Amino acid sequence: MSFDTRSAAFAYLRTYYSAAALDREDTFLLDATIDGIEHARRVAVAAGQSLRCLELGCGPVAAWALCPGAVAGELWLAERSQGGRQVLHEWLTGDREAFDWSVYAAHVAKRMVELVVMHSVADAISGTPEEFAALVSSAARLVAPRGSLLISVNTEVDEWHAEAVAFPQVRLSCDQVLAAIEGAGLQAVFSRQRSRLPDGKDTETAHTMVVLADKPPRAE
C-alpha cells in the first residue's frame, strides 16, 4: 500500500472512513484499540513508567492516534509516504482542507500506554508471510519490556480498492498472524476477529483481526 500523493491518501480516507458517522468496523477497531491501551496503561502505571506510544505506518489516518493521545506522555506517528504525511500534517495544523476526525475523537474515551500500534500496515507492505513476520519482529524490538504491541491485520485477502486505486497486500491466515507474533517473542493477551462483509455477505475466512501482545519483563 502506498500513499505517494495526497489524492491517493484522500481516496483511501473517503473509501474507508467517514467524517459523518462511525460504522461497525470503525467502532470495532476503536474499542479494541482502547481496550488494548487500557491494559498497557495499567502495566505502565504499575511499573512507575511514563507512557510512550509509537504508531508505525499510520498512513493518512489520525483515528488511532486519538486513542493514546489523551494520556501518553509522548506520542510519535511514523509514515514513509509523502501523501500520508501531507494529509496528517493538514490535520495536525488545523488546515481547513483536512479530513475531519471529530466523530472518531468523540468515541475515544480518555483512558489509555507504553505501546506500539500497527493498524493494517505490516500486512499492507509485506510481499510474503516471511516479510510480514520480519516486520512484526522489528516492531516487537521497539516495545519496552512489559510493554505491548497492538496490531490489526486484514486476513485472507490479496488487495483492497479505494476508488480507482488498488492496494495489494500479502495474504495471511489468522494462524500465520499469531505465529508471527509468537515468533517475535510476544505473548498474545487477546485476539479478536470479525468477519468482513464483501458484497454484503459474510465469509468464513476473510477477517479483520486485532491482536494485543505483551513483551515479557527483561531478565535480571
Segment 56-80 mean pLDDT: 84
Mean pLDDT for all residues in the chain? 83
**In whole angstroms, what is the distance from residue 77 CA to residue 132 CA?**
20
User: What is the percentage of the chain residues whose pLDDT exceeds 90?
Assistant: 28
**Residue 155: burial class (beta carbons within 10 Å; 0-12, 13-18, 19+):** buried
Q: Which residue has the higher pLDDT, 70 or 169?
A: 169
Q: Which amino acid belongs to residue 138?
A: S
Residue-range domain boundaries for the chain? 6-214
pLDDT confidence tier of residue 110, bands split at 50, 70 and 90: very low
User: Do residues 125 and 167 touch, judged by C-beta distance below 8 A?
Assistant: no
How far is it, in rounded angstroms, from Cα 64 to Cα 29?
Answer: 9
For position 178, what pLDDT does the model report? 96
d(CA 91, CA 107): 18
What is the predicted pLDDT for the residue at 205? 63
pLDDT at res. 162? 80
Q: The domain 6-214 belongs to what CATH superfamily?
A: Vaccinia Virus protein VP39 (3.40.50.150)
pLDDT at 90: 92
pLDDT digits (tens, 9 = 90+) for 76-105: 899 999 999 999 999 888 888 899 888 888
**What average pLDDT does range 213-219 have in this prediction?**
80
The letter for the amino acid at 24 is R
Q: Dump the DSSP string for 78-125.
A: E---HHHHHHHHHHHTT-TTS---HHHHHH--S----EEEEES-TTTS
Dump pLDDT digits (tens) for 161-206.
788 888 888 999 999 999 999 999 999 999 998 876 555 454 556 6
Cβ atoms of residues 94 and 53 within 8 Å:
no
Region label for 146, one of left (φ > 0), alpha (ψ between -120 and 50) or beta (otherwise): left
The three grid cell numbers given for residue 169, joined into one nine-digit string: 497486500
What lies within 8 Å, CB to CB, of 51 at 6+ separation is 40, 41, 44, 68, 71, 72, 73, 74, 112, 113, 114, 115
